[in-house]
């Protein structure tokens, strides 16, 4: 077995850990055991956090529905919840990208609209909720989880 040796530059850029430390500690605990189907607890928690912010975002966002129409809040909640589930199950990188894209766009729209709508507390709450929805999905743990789909 070949041993990796870290240089001083490697230790500085990796926060003081050598490549062997990273490989030993690394992401193995985050990914779970693919042989047994055990899902990564860290990924599960991050997706749940994103889902909680999704609920807050839906409650804080005005969809301007008129009487007698379908509940757009429920529809949006269902669509994004399915996308989060697909992200957790590693079924779709597109689902992950869809959720992240709309969360970042929502954060930008509501964040930039907050100064002009200071009388409406839903704007800053919605901006924070959108950011909270995107942040867990942009962590390295979730990105690796989605990227490293098992081969079938």
**Model pLDDT for residues 25-53, shown as the tens digit of each residue:** 344 444 454 543 445 788 989 999 999 99
**pLDDT tens, 47-83?**
999 999 999 988 887 666 555 455 777 888 899 999 9
What is the distance between the alpha carbons of residues 101 and 138, in angstroms, rounded to a whole number? 11
Return the domain boundaries, the chain.
39-147
| Range 19-31 burial, b when 16+ CB lie within 10 A, else e | eeeeeeeeeeebb
Write down the pLDDT at residue 54: 92
Write down the pLDDT at residue 113: 80
Of the candidates 124, 150, 149, 147, the one whose C-alpha atom is nearest the C-alpha of residue 137 is: 147
What is the distance between the alpha carbons of residues 89 and 6, in angstroms, rounded to a whole number? 35
What secondary structure does DSSP assign to 13-75, as a single string? HTTT--HHHHHHHTTHHHH--TTTTPPPHHHHHHHHHHHHHHHHHHHH----PPTTS--HHHH
**pLDDT tens, 102-148?**
999 999 988 888 777 777 888 889 899 999 999 999 999 899 888 88
Write down the pLDDT at residue 60: 83
Per-residue pLDDT band at 152 (split at 50, 70, 90)? low
CB 4 within 8 A of CB 20: yes
């Amino acid at each position: 077995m070949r041993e990796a040796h870290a240089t001083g530059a490697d230790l500085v850029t990796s926060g003081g850990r050598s490549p062997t430390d990273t490989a030993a500690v690394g992401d193995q605990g985050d990914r779970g055991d693919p042989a047994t189907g055990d899902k990564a607890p860290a990924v599960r928690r991050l997706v749940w956090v994103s889902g909680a912010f999704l609920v807050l975002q839906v409650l804080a966002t005005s969809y301007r529905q008129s009487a007698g129409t379908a509940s757009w809040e429920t529809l949006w909640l269902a669509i994004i919840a399915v996308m989060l589930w697909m992200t957790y199950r590693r079924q779709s990188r597109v689902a992950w990208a869809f959720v992240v894209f709309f969360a970042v766009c929502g954060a930008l729209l509501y964040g930039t609209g907050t100064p002009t709508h200071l009388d409406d507390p839903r704007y800053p709450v919605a901006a924070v909720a959108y950011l909270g929805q995107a942040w867990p999905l942009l962590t390295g743990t979730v990105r690796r989880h989605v990227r490293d789909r098992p081969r079938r």
